[in-house]
Amino acid sequence: MHLIYTMKKLLIALSVLVFSCGTVAAQEHPHELNLFVGGFNSQFLSYSTSMDYTTDLYGLYEPQTRVTTDPALTFEYNYAVLKWLSVGAQVHYNHLNVSTMTRIDNSYDHYHREMFSFLPEVKLRIPSPAHFRLYGKAAIGLSFVPQLSTRFAYDLVPLGCEWAGQRVYGTAELVYGSVIKGGRIGIGYRF
């Protein structure tokens, strides 16, 4: 009975040791830079992605706007203030393809816009193995589209992971937010 109890304690201690390695790395090299690509730009998915062909007066007279986006680029800097907590900011860049149509006079317009977002963030590290480090993130800020809009923006990463080295590593995230939706992958450097 005593042996089982001792083994249980040993197992728990080993688990804590193994799963806390990932957070130690953050403290040794507190600065990190990440570059991501991917994700659908959810902010402009609130615009229709297809034209409205309704033939009532609203459908005839109101310009219909369709916005499609290329995969976003995200650049991120974080500083580890604690083993498990980093603070920093992310900057997004996205290219928007905007089409407008007014049915009453069959007029079409097509133009491009650039979208930039700046979002301060916090990053929480979850105890995990040193070579497969898990985390979550939350960010809020603003998105700017010159000549189109400025909007409140948020970005949530319920689960992300970093793998391979302590200094240079790969990273992948699940993302849900007003800026990006879906997932993105990237590379990071810690110093």
- Residue closer to other proteins, measured from CB, 3 or 55: 55
**Which of 62, 114 has the CB closer to other proteins?**
62
Of 18 and 60, CB closest to other proteins:
60
Q: Is 103 in the site for other proteins (CB under 8 A)?
A: yes
Residue 105 CB, nearest distance to other proteins (Å)?
Answer: 8
Closest distance between other proteins and the C-beta of residue 103, in Å? 5
- Which residue, 162, 13, 6, 146, is CA-closest to 78? 162
Establish if 54 lies at the interface with other proteins (CB under 8 A): yes
Query: Torsions phi, psi of 172, nearest 5?
Result: -145, 145
| Minimum CB distance to other proteins, residue 106 (Å) | 7
For residue 114, give every residue at least 6 positions away whose Cβ sits within 8 Å of its Cβ, in sequence order, or none: 93, 94, 95, 96, 145, 146
Site string for other proteins, 57-86 (x = CB under 8 A): xx-xxx------------------------
A 10 A CB-CB count for 108 gives 11
Residues that bind other proteins (CB under 8 A): 54-58, 60-62, 103-106
